[in-house]
Amino acid sequence: MQPRPSKLRLQHLTTNNEAMARCLQLAGLAARSDVPVVLLGETGTGKTLLAQAIHNSSKRGNGPFISFNAAAISDTLLESQLFGHERGAFTGAQQTIKGKFELADQGTLFLDEISEMSPLAQVKVLRVLEYGEFERLGSERMLTSNARIICAANCSLRERVRLGKLREDLYQRLNGLTLLIPPLRERLEELPALIATELQIAATKEGKSITAIHPEAMDKLLRHDWPGNLRELSHTVRTMTLFCDDSVILPEHVVFPADLEPDRAASATQQPEPLPASNHQEADAVVDLSLECAIQKHVRLVYEQTNRNQRRAARLLGISRSTLARYLREVLKNKSPSA
Ligand SMILES: Nc1ncnc2c1ncn2[C@@H]1O[C@H](COP(=O)(O)OP(=O)(O)OP(=O)(O)O)[C@@H](O)[C@H]1O
Ligand SMILES: [Mg+2]
């Protein structure tokens, strides 16, 4: 089992996926250097965890690991957050506070969601990175910070530069080594081991003794596309542990977070279950060559092929889930169109 993030080191992270192995190999190089690192990956792929592991495995491991979420802070609080302030620097500043750069001295400053940084924040951060100096609000004393920078984003930073959302000069400063964390759906070979570990954790938390996963339940987990990546995996395993009252996880225990959303639950109540078999209605059918009929058949086909996963089917069809639900209701009402 993995240690908690504050103790996690790179050697605790293992993989049997080639792209992830490459990523971890680069992470090893990053840990041996002070080069700025950019971690790119979808939400929940483990960017924050990897940043922490790189820090812990580096020579700064005993120093501080300080996070700053660039998207979550308003411009008014920005400077005081980044550089700190002196007591009395502004109304309400009752004590002297150190900023993130100062706190991260001799350690690592993790700049999260860097692609969403406001233009002002970009200018302020760039200034420190270029000149290595800053002052607390309300003070003229120049401070320096020897912080190693790791940043994370869930989209291409080059694209953000192209769109004029990210300063080119800041991008150049931050972009030492770029690590791409692949989404979970591209690391399916890791799933069984990850599920086993998460199951062990969840079963202990819930006080259950679960000894196996039914092959159909495992199949359902392997077919899922995990839009929330490892975070979603951990929630799903926790939920299935809750639902399981025996020692074996069955397919009906596997419920994905999206299945629990209100719109999904509502449409699920109207969902044709089971859908009429395609040759069922053909006996009394008049051949229907309308486009509407063809669309309904196609919708039903994709829905079946995705193992009745509405979210996935809607995505493949390029329609919203509510539109899909409407089509599925039509399919049921029409007893499905004939060939
Ligand atoms: N290799 C891994 N093994 C097990 N659990 C992991 C792994 N990587 C990440 N996780 C877990 O997945 C969850 C999400 O990880 P993390 O917060 O690092 O993702 P993130 O990419 O930073 O997400 P976001 O984009 O939302 O900030 C956490 O609970 C973390 O512990
Ligand atoms: Mg994160």
Q: Determine the pLDDT at residue 264.
A: 56
Give the domain-ending residue among 238, 259, 280.
259
Residue 322 CA to residue 328 CA, distance in Å, equals 10
- Check: pTM over 0.85? Answer yes or no: no
Q: At residue 222, what is the residue type?
A: L
- pLDDT of 332 > 70? The answer is no
CA of 302 to the centre of ligand 1 (A): 31
Residue 187 lies in a domain: no
Residue 262: which residues within 8 A CB-CB, separation 6 or more? Answer: none
Which tens digits make up the pLDDT trace of 107-122?
999 999 999 999 998 9
HSE, CB side, 13 Å, CA atoms: give it for residue 314.
16
Domain co-membership, 60 together with 77: yes
Residue 188 lies in a domain: no
Average pLDDT, the chain: 86
In ligand 1, the atom with minimum distance to the C-alpha of 43 is 25
pLDDT band of residue 288 (cuts 50, 70, 90) is low
Domain co-membership, 276 together with 142: no
Residue 149's DSSP bridge partners are 109
Which tens digits make up the pLDDT trace of 12-51?
999 999 999 999 999 999 999 999 999 999 999 999 999 9
Domain co-membership, 219 together with 280: no
- pLDDT of 283 > 90? The answer is no
Counts for the chain of helices (H) and strands (E), in that order: 14, 11
Sheet holding 108-112, edge to edge: 65-69, 108-112, 148-153, 37-40, 177-180
Give the residue numbers spanning the domain of 247: 194-259
CA of 229 to the centre of ligand 2 (A): 12
Task: Name the residue among 87, 108, 99, 110 with its Cα closest to residue 143.
Answer: 99
Domain co-membership, 124 together with 32: yes
Q: Looking at per-residue confidence, does 272 or 301 come out higher? A: 301
Nearest CA to ligand 1 atom 9: 46
Does the beta carbon of 244 sit less than 6 angstroms from any atom of ligand 1? no
Residue 65's DSSP bridge partners are 108
Residue 59: which residues within 8 A CB-CB, separation 6 or more? Answer: none
Helix axes of 47-57 and 18-31: crossing angle, nearest 10 degrees: 40
Domain co-membership, 46 together with 108: yes
